[in-house]
Structure 1
């Protein structure tokens, strides 16, 4: 579920990037590079931690040596695919108002998916359901939450 949500988010990010023009483009590219780097690292950690043979879900028949590269490749291709779809779908530059509306809608959709994936899937998995975090010291838990907070601050600063 996390993989699907992040891939859909990356597709929308690619679509948003393809319709952005002017000085906003450089800011958006910088924010997306930073964002996709850390999203890829966190997703890579999740993919690496998958069991060699999943017992549940749609991929239960795929062995781990096929599933892990498949999921990684799917994530790597979604943002460029979104950019390509956006370039083809919005090739005409005359509909500035329509492009602005679509850009706002896509940005809102991306933000919603990111908040869901971050809060429900990743934070719950790392801080609430992780047995190692429960057994770790209070100092380590506070340090992990502080690092999370600093990451949130850095993302908001770059998105500014």
Structure 2
């Protein structure tokens, strides 16, 4: 849910961005959402279809995966729509207020993504995965280097 909320805030940020920053942000978001969707898709696919009680979080297992995938697919466009509706008068209004809102949205989305990445995704992959515990040191080093390479690639995409 943290990643989906992050996508909603990213959509809001995209809706209020103008000028040359917009092109950079769209490029970064395209790559960002692609890889975020891939990692979230792996997590969703790994969910059990049914638990012992027959449901996960009160939702029957065969409905949970499509609900999560659809929710992720709709959150960024929903954020853009809400942002365009809420801030449509912002282009004629005070530009410094719009910049403050854009900064706040960027900070919120970055914080949510850092939390989701560090607590939910990385802990699941590197700390709680018994397969990672049993694999050799070489595979663990390759996994960590791949993580660092991905972080560097994402940082370079958004760098002006």
CA distance in 1, matches of 2:101, 2:57: 37
Q: How many residues align?
A: 156
Who is 1:94 aligned against? 92
Who is 1:139 aligned against? 138
* Deviation for aligned residue 1:65: 1.6
Moved more, 61-70 or 126-135: 61-70
Who is 2:2 aligned against? 5
Q: CA RMSD in A?
A: 1.4
CA distance in 1, matches of 2:157, 2:140: 26
Q: Do the aligned partners of 1:18 and 1:83 also contact (CA within 8 Å) in 2?
A: yes
* Deviation for aligned residue 1:54: 4.1
Alignment of structure 1 residues 74-89 onto 2, 5 Å: 74-89=71-86
Compute the TM-score of the two structures, normalised by the length of structure 2: 0.94
* Deviation for aligned residue 1:97: 1.4
The unaligned stretches of length 5 or more in structure 2 are none
Match of residue 30, structure 2, among 30, 33, 39 = 33
Q: Do the aligned partners of 1:11 and 1:79 also contact (CA within 8 Å) in 2?
A: yes
The unaligned stretches of length 5 or more in structure 1 are none
Match of residue 59, structure 2, among 44, 53, 62 = 62
Who is 1:106 aligned against? 105
Who is 1:149 aligned against? 148
